[in-house]
Amino acid sequence: MRDPIVAIATPYGESAVGMIRLSGKGVHEIVKKLFKTKAKFEERKALYGTLTDLEGKPVDEGIAIFYKAPKSYTGEDMVEITLHGNPVILEKALKIFIDAGCRLAEPGEFTKRAFLNQKLDLTQAEAVADLISAKTDLAREVALRQLRGELSKIIKPLREKLLELHAYLEADIEFSEEDIPTITKDQVLEVIDEVIAKVKELLKTSTAGRVIREGLKLAIVGKPNVGKSSLFNALLGQERAIVTDIAGTTRDFIEETLNLKGVPVRIVDTAGIRKTDDPVEKIGVQRSKEKIQSADVILFVVDGSGEFTEEDEEVFREVKDKNPLVVINKVDLGVKIPLEIFEGLSIIKVSARTGYGLKALEEEILKRVGFVSQEGLKIYVSVRHEKLLKEALEVLERFRERYSVEDISPEIAMLDVREASDLLGEIIGEVTTEEVLGNIFSRFCIGK
C-alpha cells in the first residue's frame, strides 16, 4: 500500500457540503485519532462525529465513511469525510491531515492508484475525467459506457488474438522439429485481417469522439447581408446577433454554444468578408478569416434569391479548399443562383426566416463529423486511442503486405505481431510507461 494522500474532492466555493478524501497506508489510524465519534467503528457505514485538530480542538461536525482495501475506489484503505462546504473549514481540515502525516494528492492520483491496483484499466480511468468534464448528456453517456469497460471489451480480445498468434509463431521456432500443431499462412492472414477490420472500424469513430468530448467549431461565413446572422439566430433559437438590411452590421465575430443532438457546438457568426475602408470592419474581416482556419465545419452562406457576385466569389475562394457546406439561404424568396457553381460540394437549401431546411442542415453538420444519430451508439475513441490504433494499423498492414507475398521467417513475423499487440496494450494500460501515465492523469482534478 502506498504512502497516505489527502485532497479536497469537491469544487472550491461555498456549498452545503464538502468532501475530504484520504487513501493509502495508515489513513484509518490517522482519521480515528482526529475524528471523534460515539458510534461503533464499522467499515462502509456512515459515522457521525466531530473532526478535531491535532490539539483536540473541534473544527467541524460531519460524516466519515471508512473503506478497507481492496474494496475501495483506489484499492487501498480509504476514508471520505463530508463536512460543511465552507472553503475555510475544508482548507483547515486539509492542513490538519497533512500535519498528521498525509501528503497532498497530485492531480488524478486517486484514479491513478485505482489503475495501478487494477481496479480500472486505462480506458476506464480516462473515462472518469471524461465523465466529470462531459458538456452534454450524450458526452456523459459515452463516458459512462467507457467507464463500464465497453472499449476495453473490444480492444482486449484483439490483443489476445495477436498474443495467441505470437505464441504460435514462437512455437514454430522452438519446436520446429517436433510433431506439434502449427499455424498455416492462411490462418495467420485470417487473424491479421480480422484485427485490421476491427481497428479500422474503431478509427471511424475518432472524429465524432473528439467533437463529443471537446465540442465542434462551426463558422458561418459569407459576404455581408446574405443572412448569416439570421441563420446564427435560427440555429441558436434566440435573437443573439443583430439583424438589419445594412451591409456590415456584424463587424466582429460573435460566438455562442449550442447543443446539437448531444454534440456541443461552438458556433461563430463572422463579420461579412469584403473589401472595406472602415478600419474597425477591416479588423473584423481579418478575425473572420482566422476563425475560418480553426473551424471544424464551415457554412458558406449565399443569398439564393440573388446573383452570385464578385463578393461571393471572393469569400468562396477563401473557403473552397476547406470543403465548406454550402448553405443557400432565403429560398422562400425563390432560387436564382446557379447551383452548378458548387459542383462537388454539399448543398443545403434553407430559409433562416421561416426555418425551412434547418433540420436537414443540422443533420448534415453532424454527418461531417461522423455522427448521424444516437441509435446503436457504443463508444468513440479519443485522440490518444486514435494515435495508437493508427500506429497498430500501420504495423499490421505492413506485415500483411509482406507476409502474403514473401517467405518471412517466424522470428521477423513475431516482431511485427508483438509490436502491434503492445500498441493495443498501451490503449488499455497493459503496456505503459510512467511518462504516459503522467500525461494522462495530469489533466485530472486534484481529489479524483
How far, in Å, CA of 301 to CA of 225, rounded? 10
- Quote the distance between the C-alpha of residue 290 and its chain's center: 25
Domain total in the chain: 3
Q: Looking at the structure, do residues 267 and 408 belong to the same domain, yes or no?
A: no
**Does residue 233 register a pLDDT over 50?**
yes
In this predicted structure, the answer to whether residue 181 has a pLDDT above a threshold of 60 is no
Q: Report the alpha-carbon angle 444-446-448, nearest 5.
A: 65
The residue range of the domain holding 77 is: 5-105
Same domain for 141 and 199: yes
Reported pTM:
0.79
Summarised one tens digit per residue, pLDDT across range 16-68 is 999 999 999 999 999 999 999 998 888 999 999 999 999 999 999 999 999 99
Whether 162 shows a pLDDT value over 50: the answer reads yes
**Distance separating alpha carbons of residues 61 and 220, to the nearest angstrom:** 55
pLDDT of residue 240: 47
239-249 pLDDT, tens digit each: 544 333 434 44
DSSP-derived 3-state class of residue 264 = strand
C-alpha cell at 101: 502525516
Q: How far apart are the first and last CA of the chain?
A: 18
CA angle 188, 192, 194 (to 5 degrees): 120
What CATH number is given to the structural domain containing 51?
3.30.1360.120
Residue 287 and residue 248 share a domain: yes
Give DSSP secondary structure letters for 314-347.
Answer: HHHHHHGGG--EEEEE-GGG---S-GGGGTTS-E
- CB-based contact 370:216 (threshold 8 Å): no
Report the distance separating Cα 270 and Cα 255, nearest Å.
9
Question: What confidence score (pLDDT) does residue 62 get?
Answer: 97
Per-residue pLDDT tens digits for 255-308: 888 888 888 888 887 765 555 545 555 556 666 666 677 788 999 999 999 899
Separation between Cα atoms, residue 440 and residue 448, nearest integer Å: 13
> In sequence order, which ranges of 121-225 are alpha helices (DSSP H)?
122-133, 137-147, 150-174, 185-203, 206-214
Same domain? 138 vs 227: no
pLDDT in tens, 334-377: 988 989 989 899 999 999 999 999 999 999 998 887 775 544 44
Q: Is residue 111 part of a domain?
A: no
How many residues appear in the chain?
A: 448
CA distance 9 to 73: 13
End-of-domain residue from the set 48, 74, 105: 105
CATH code assigned at 399: 1.20.120.430
Strand order in the sheet with 347-349: 254-260, 263-269, 216-221, 297-303, 325-329, 347-349
Domain-ending residue, one of 76, 105, 134: 105
pLDDT of residue 16: 94
> Has residue 116 been placed in a domain?
no
DSSP string, 22-88: EESTTHHHHHHHHEE-SSPP-TTS-EEEEEE-TTS-EEEEEEEEEE-TTSSSSSS-EEEEEEEE-HH
